[in-house]
Amino acid sequence: MSGSTTKKVLIDRFDRQTLRGFLQPETGYQAEGVELLTPEGSVAVVPYTQIKLLSYVRDLEGSGALGDRRQFLARPKSAGLWVLFTFRDGDSMEGVVPNDLLGLNETGFAFTPPDAARNTQRVFVPRAALERISVLGVVGSPLKGRTGVRRPAEARQIGLFSLVDPA
């Protein structure tokens, strides 16, 4: 049996209200919404249709992803798909999603925000909150190093004296 882990989260809703609390990543994402444990000790299920984004944070008193930088200043360094999320209300935010289709969640997308060194470490956006997702680039493609069929070393290396006629 594994130990239970709760993560500090800030939920930004479309009505501009921010909810603070704790989430168990294994059991917190339910069919109807996110189960949030408030600092006061009460449990509330927040429907996905009300959530704009959920920020995994270091400190509950700090700002969430909407208070941090929303675009990368340069091309991101971490591997994955560099995407632009456009929300239902017209707002937008960039992020890097893992380049692994098996890791996709049916309820939404988890990604690394542009400024992960600040209070927000990861972000989750429900599918219901999005109008569009645009891929801006692929960072760290596993196919980058491949150049085709490799010839044996003997075929690539020319002999120093093989072209000289001794006569």
Element (H, E) at 95: strand 92-97
pLDDT in tens, 47-98: 999 999 999 999 988 888 777 788 888 888 888 999 999 999 999 999 999 9
Name the pTM for this structure: 0.79
Does 151 map to a domain? no
End-to-end CA distance of the chain: 81
Q: Is residue 101 part of a domain?
A: yes
What local confidence, expressed as pLDDT, does residue 1 receive?
39
Side-chain-side CA neighbours of 26 within 13 Å: the count stands at: 5
Give me the pLDDT at residue 147, please: 58
| Greater model confidence, 28 or 10 | 10
Does any domain span residue 90?
A: yes
Q: Is the pLDDT of residue 160 over 90?
A: no
Residue 17 pLDDT more than 80? Answer: yes
In a domain, 160, yes or no: no
Sign, CA torsion 38/40/43/44: negative
Q: How far apart are CA 76 and CA 122, in angstroms?
A: 15
CA distance 102 to 94: 21
The predicted structure's pLDDT at residue 56? 93
Sign, CA dihedral 78-137-119-30, equals negative
Q: By residue range, what is the domain housing residue 108?
A: 7-140
How many structural domains is the chain composed of? 1
Q: Residue 149 falls within a domain, yes or no? A: no
| Within a domain: 49 | yes
- Tell me if 96 sits within 8 A of 78, measured CB to CB: yes
13 within a domain of the structure (yes/no) = yes
pLDDT tens by residue, 131-149: 999 999 999 866 665 555 6
Q: Name beta bridge partners: 7.
A: 23
The distance from CA 124 to its chain's CA centroid, rounded to whole angstroms, is 8
